[in-house]
Amino acid sequence: MKFRHLGNSGMKISEICYGNWLTHGSQVENEQAMACVRAALDVGITTFDTADAYANTAAETVLGAALKGQRRASLEIFTKVYWPTGPKGPNDSGLSRKHIMEAIDGSLGRLQTDYVDLYQAHRFDHETPLEETMQAFADVVRSGKALYIGVSEWTADQIRRGAALAKDLGFQLISNQPQYSMLWRVIEGEVVPASKEVGVGQVVWSPIAQGVLTGKYKPGRPAPAGSRATDEKGGMSSVRRFTDNEELLRRVQGLRPIADELGLSMAQLAVAWVLQNDNVGCAIIGASRPEQVTENVGASGVEIPAGLMARIDEVLGDVVVTDPRKTQDSSPKQHP
Q: Which of 32, 188, 166, 154 is nearest to 82 (CA)?
A: 154
* Mean per-residue pLDDT over the chain, rounded: 93
With a cut of 60, say whether residue 215 has pLDDT above it.
yes
Cα-based angle 50, 54, 58 (whole degrees, multiple of 5): 95
Catalytic residue among 54, 82, 148, 180: 54
Phi, psi of 220 (to 5 degrees): 80, 5
pLDDT in tens, 84-143: 998 999 999 999 999 999 999 999 999 999 999 999 999 999 999 999 999 999 999 999
- Annotated active-site residue 54? The verdict is yes
Q: For position 333, what pLDDT does the model report?
A: 95
With a cut of 90, say whether residue 23 has pLDDT above it.
no
CA gap 138, 325 in Å, rounded: 29
The answer, as to whether pTM is greater than 0.75, is yes
* Rg over CA atoms, the chain: 19
CA gap 48, 26 in Å, rounded: 18
Q: For position 73, what pLDDT does the model report?
A: 98
Q: For position 227, what pLDDT does the model report?
A: 60
CATH 3.40.50.300 fits 12-329, yes or no: no
CA gap 34, 66 in Å, rounded: 5
